[in-house]
Amino acid sequence: MHEPKRIPALLFGLVLDIIHDMPLDVRVSVADLEEDEIRVLELTLGKYLQFRLQQLNEDRLEQLKEDCQAMAGKEFSNEIDEAQTVLRYIWRVLRNTHALRVVK
């Protein structure tokens, strides 16, 4: 049986930090998106994420790029690709933790 890849600590920490900074209504809205709608996040959250990536020192940024490459299983051409990978993990975490459920 194929075991799922474990998210590296730096990538997971960045994802959790960004989720923590998001208002609750935004978290729920992101969790409600379908996978093919994630690209909508690039317009708003993608800009913020690029800002956060620029704040990392070179060693941490290089480690994040390596983490993203390992998780995605492909080479990245620029920061946008790392940002897309982080956005996908933000969506996955929120999908598991903030999806609206019917309560009877």
Q: What is the mean pLDDT of each run of 10 residues along the chain (104 residues)?
A: 65 90 91 86 82 86 84 56 82 86 76
Is there a domain that residue 8 lies in?
A: no
Is there a domain that residue 102 lies in?
A: no
Total number of domains constituting the chain? 1
Take residue 75 and report the two structure tokens written for it. 């080479």
Looking from the CA of 62 toward its CB, the CA atoms found within 13 Å total: 3
Query: In this predicted structure, what is the pLDDT of residue 67?
Result: 83
Is there a domain that residue 51 lies in?
A: yes
Take residue 68 and report the two structure tokens written for it. 């993203």
Is there a domain that residue 6 lies in?
A: no
Q: Which domain holds residue 70?
A: 22-97
Query: In this predicted structure, what is the pLDDT of residue 4?
Result: 52
Query: In this predicted structure, what is the pLDDT of residue 74?
Result: 57
Report the predicted TM-score, pTM, of the whole model to 2 decimal places: 0.78
